[in-house]
Chains A and B, each alone.
Chain A
């Protein structure tokens, strides 16, 4: 059962075609990855799904319901949580309060939201920092905060934009472990944009490859990394 259905999505910016007729599905409860060289259109795809831009053509559906072109906050309320490639914490608010903002999407009462926020912070190993100002966090911590905040909105689909960038291999493994656990325990569907192949291979059940705005390959990770087109444009022969 596909939770996310992207059909024929195209988006151009003043003549530059960022995304061209991209279609793919993400099954419910699955973890999928979107890879490709820089400028391939991955973040633009995310932005279309998340409602930041309306696509020029094509549709996006979540759980059978069309969400194409909805405002970002409505997309979130429909069940999509997202992180940003360049993290956007609320710097003058505490770590806990940052996540509470997210949790308020699902909980009407502040007390419930705070409880939920604490729970999510524990999942991402940020509970000790909950009283600190977000501005005081290191970059890896800010990335975890971004994920926690998005997760607190109780999404059905979580869009992760390069959350592993800049992390050490041990930190990558830790994050992979967290996502695996969450996916297993709650069935949260995850779509991630990643360059860190270590994480892609460990997490993704399905990989979509974009190049110059078009989908050039799709399949299980083992197949995709052996695909000649993918090797040529992105991975290189030594990637394996």
Chain B
């Protein structure tokens, strides 16, 4: 059986399991699963910029926040639903990404300096939003929670099950998009830029244009996750959503799962969330509730992976499952 065949079968099985999950599991598992999918999706979006094109962004919370506030603001003040609001969210993030990308790439900023630039923009925005009273300021923006029995997909008001399926659809869509991108000219060019930008230029690649494309696509995809965040959690605080720890949470999944791979971000998000939740549960059983344990756990995972498994855990697993040629 060829690797492609095997992959297709496993993917189908996984897909079926995920679709059936709400009927098999309780509400707690469902909420964990929704969280996993959220990080899987956002990780996929980040992976386009870093895993594919090699541009390290440590300020992706900027796009989550902008997307969330754009859609939430429209809904809160004008009653405009998320399906329309998402377009403003995407536009705002595309603009932000374009500005950051243009400034960075025109001025030849790369590597760690680029990462610092993204952090600076996110922090700048975080503090800025604390002062925008129209969007709630530091006190936060709250969307009315109406727990309806029916699914109101139009306004994204509904049961946890609805949110789960929305996130599942988004993650599946992102997976398909990334798979298509990776096999397209963009995928080849991005990887070339990531591996050696000078050589890429010598092969006719306009590296500025393609890097911009990666940044903009990544930002646009992340905008959508921001919109979801707003309507799922129903409250937004600049201190939380733009915070650098959010940016770090986003990158943990792809790095631990496997940078630049298709399935890595999904696997990484799943493994991390499940283990972290497991630890929290264990500690609750022991009667302990210490803030910070989960993050220490994340930090240790990241440390171990960066040191000993630089390609993440997915490539090894994929090989064992017979999904790769090598």
Chain A stretch 68-118: residues in CB contact (< 8 A) with chain B: 71-73, 76-77, 81-82, 84, 88-93, 97, 100-102, 104-105, 108, 110, 113
Closest residue of chain A to B184 (Cβ to Cβ) is: A110
- Does B203 contact A93, Cβ atoms closer than 8 Å? no
Q: Is B206 an interface residue (CB 8 A)?
A: yes
Query: In the bound complex, what is the Cα–Cα distance between A89 and B199 (angstroms)?
Result: 8
Which residues from chain B contact A133 at a C-beta distance below 8 Å?
326
- Does A101 contact B188, Cβ atoms closer than 8 Å? yes
- Does A97 contact B191, Cβ atoms closer than 8 Å? yes
- Does A102 contact B325, Cβ atoms closer than 8 Å? no
Chain B stretch 192-209: residues in CB contact (< 8 A) with chain A: 192, 195-196, 198-207
- Does A90 contact B199, Cβ atoms closer than 8 Å? yes
Query: In the bound complex, what is the Cα–Cα distance between A88 and B188 (angstroms)?
Result: 16
Q: Is A149 an interface residue (CB 8 A)?
A: yes
Task: From A101, A108, A110, A131, give the contact of B203 (CB < 8 A).
Answer: A101
Task: From B191, B196, B204, B326, give the contact of A88 (CB < 8 A).
Answer: B196
Which residues from chain B contact A100 at a C-beta distance below 8 Å?
188
- Does A73 contact B192, Cβ atoms closer than 8 Å? no
- Does A72 contact B185, Cβ atoms closer than 8 Å? no
- Does A131 contact B188, Cβ atoms closer than 8 Å? no
Q: Is B189 an interface residue (CB 8 A)?
A: yes
CB distance from B127 to the nearest CB of A (A): 38
A-B contact count (CB 8 A): 78
Q: Is A235 an interface residue (CB 8 A)?
A: no
Q: Is A35 an interface residue (CB 8 A)?
A: no
Which residues from chain B contact A131 at a C-beta distance below 8 Å?
325-326
Q: Is B183 an interface residue (CB 8 A)?
A: yes
Q: Is A31 an interface residue (CB 8 A)?
A: no
Q: Is A153 an interface residue (CB 8 A)?
A: yes
- Does B189 contact A50, Cβ atoms closer than 8 Å? no
Q: Is A209 an interface residue (CB 8 A)?
A: no
CB distance from B209 to the nearest CB of A (A): 9
CB distance from A91 to the nearest CB of B (A): 6
Query: In the bound complex, what is the Cα–Cα distance between A81 and B199 (angstroms)?
Result: 11
Query: In the bound complex, what is the Cα–Cα distance between A76 and B205 (angstroms)?
Result: 9
- Does A97 contact B202, Cβ atoms closer than 8 Å? no
Which residues from chain A contact B195 at a C-beta distance below 8 Å?
89-93
The 3 closest A-B pairs by CB, nearest first: A90-B195, A105-B204, A76-B204
Q: Which residues of A contact B (CB under 8 A)?
A: 50, 71-73, 76-77, 81-82, 84, 88-93, 97, 100-102, 104-105, 108, 110, 113, 131-133, 149-150, 153
14 additional contacts, CB 8 Å, given A81-B203, A90-B192?
A72-B201, A77-B204, A84-B198, A88-B196, A89-B195, A90-B199, A92-B191, A100-B188, A101-B189, A104-B189, A149-B199, A149-B203, A150-B202, A153-B203
